Structure 1
Amino acid sequence: MALNNLNYPLDFKFKITTLSSDFNITDRNGNYVAYVRQKMFKLKEDVIVFNDESKSKELFRIKANQWIDFNASYSLSEIATGRSFGRLARKGMRSIWKASYDILDANDQPKFKIQEDNGWVKVFDNMVGEIPVIGMFTGYFLNPSYTVTGMDGKAYFKLKKCRLSSEEDSSSTA
């Protein structure tokens, strides 16, 4: 499997100059990990993880099971083998206040939960995001964070959107 032995934290640098949602992933030492690109004009989300920006080798595919995001789940499969790793399932009603997801393995057994840490960040982001011009800059001061916990309640990861420097596009750290 690709993407073994990663040096955390991972840095996600989003490209705001392109029409599609795409970003680079680098590790703690600045080593290139992957290039991720979302297919444009799809009713159901379809994301491809490549080995690099040249897009010469597809590593993984992430596909939504439905076009409405309320209770959508996103399956992850390896391109080379067709092996399914499981899926990320959004919890619709629980996500109204704070985003909530379950990570399920290939046998549909729950392994982890992802929970947004502060619901107010989403509320303010949605409100301020509707203000003309000012709404374009919400990513500079409204930075959501998420905690990934195991089924035993132990926290394993903290996902946080942060702005690292003025020369970076947009960044998240995992």
Structure 2
Amino acid sequence: MTAQMYLPTFYVKQKIALTTNRYELYAANPDGSFGQMYGLAEQKRLAFKEQVTFYSDASKSRPVFGFKARQRLDFNAGYDITDESGQALGFFRKEFGASLLRSTFHVEGPGYAGTGQERSMAVALIRRFTEIPFLPIHFDFTGSDGQPLLSVERQVSVRDRYVVQVPDQRVDFRVAAAIAVGLDALMQR
């Protein structure tokens, strides 16, 4: 079964503003360059209940999907991913206990469930105990059957920039985008 909106590779670029984090989503062209803009997301900093809305373009005139925390200020909170009409697309949560040494997330969508974890224990430990900026961060998500669902790789740059690869066609682009943005937003905690 292929997801309603499937995109095998895309990019997420973060732009930092005073009160918000802004993320731009771009399709990847066959040559690896940035293609069509697929959306824009904004996250308000210091919100009591995390919510990120994705818009169809930079005018922010049409919200098309988003994710929202189920609870306020909970380190093990779950996040529901919904389409523009509020219909469920998926769910993810940070596994607090499993994330003490290496960040770990649980993800669910139609027909699959899985776990994502930082690829490198060494980078995870360096991140926790130092303030070295711009470390490359890689997450690999695998399904309960052991097959890859998606990967999110932060490229080393001044601003956060991610390459998201989705080999599993059941994973909707909107779920993968929400997870990629969620990882960035939640890694700040």
TM-score (norm 2): 0.74
1:21 aligned onto 2:21: yes
Contact 1:102 1:110 in 2 (8 A): no
Task: Report 1 or 2 for greater relative contact order, CA contacts < 8 Å, sequence distance ≥ 6.
Answer: 2
Greater share of residues in strand: 2
In the TM superposition, residue 4 of structure 1 has moved relative to its aligned partner by 2.1
Structure 1: unaligned runs, 5 residues or longer: 130-134
Q: Is the 8 A contact 2:118 2:124 kept in 1?
A: no
2:86 & 2:69 partners in 1: Cα distance? 16
Distance change in 2, residues 1:91/1:5 (3 Å): closer
Runs of 4+ more than 4 Å apart: none
TM-score (ref. length: structure 1):
0.80
Q: Larger C-alpha radius of gyration, 1 or 2?
A: 1
Cα-to-partner distance string for 1:21-56 (whole Å, 9 max, x where unaligned): 111010112111110111344201010010011101
Q: What whole-Å deviation, never above 9, does each CA across 1:101-153 have from its counterpart, x for those lacking one?
A: 111237xx861221111232132123321xxxxx5xx11xx111111111101
Counting only pairs closer than 5 Å after superposition, residues 130-145 of structure 1 correspond to structure 2 as: 135=132, 138-139=133-134, 142-145=135-138
Mind listing any 5+ residue stretches in structure 2 that lack a counterpart? 30-34, 165-189
Aligned pairs for 1:4-83 (under 5 A) are 4-6=5-7, 8-29=8-29, 30-79=35-84, 81-83=85-87
CA RMSD of superposed structures (Å): 2.3
Number of positions where the alignment pairs a residue of Structure 1 with one of Structure 2: 157
Percent of aligned positions that are identical: 22
